[in-house]
Amino acid sequence: MAACGFVHEVIATCIGKDGIDPKTLRKHFRRELDTAEALANSIVGNVAFQAACRGEAWAVCFWLKCRAGWKETQKFEHSGKDGGDIALNVGFKELITSRIDSIRAARGRARTDKSAE
């Protein structure tokens, strides 16, 4: 139970007919409580290791990332001409005006007076 993460109070409750005091559990089962997590990890780790040795892709990737220091990285770079800033050819006002014109045209009321801007 300690290997699965149960707290000492719960483990103590489950021992014997009426359970035992958690202090008694710690006094008589100190080594088991201290090593349970490591033993569980070694059992599960062995399963992953054996799967990696069989060539199972998930296990190979897991092992290399967790144990061999491999990592997946993605790098995105956004730049303009010759590595400079990205140039925007449309200003905000022009963009809004163009969008308004598109909406009006779609409604059949194309703008006739461009000087009203």
Q: What is the pLDDT of residues 36-81, one digit of tens each?
A: 999 999 999 999 999 999 999 999 999 999 989 999 888 887 887 7
Q: What is the pLDDT of residues 30-41, one digit of tens each?
A: 999 999 999 999
Pick the closest to residue 9 from 23, 34, 37, 18 (CA basis): 23
**Is a pLDDT exceeding 60 seen at residue 111?**
no
Per-position b or e across 67-94, b if 16+ CB within 10 A of its CB: eeeeeeeeeeeeeeeeeeeeeeeeeeee
Question: What is the average pLDDT across 76-95?
Answer: 77
Amino acid at 88: L
Residue ranges per domain, the chain?
8-66
Three-state SS for 90?
A: coil
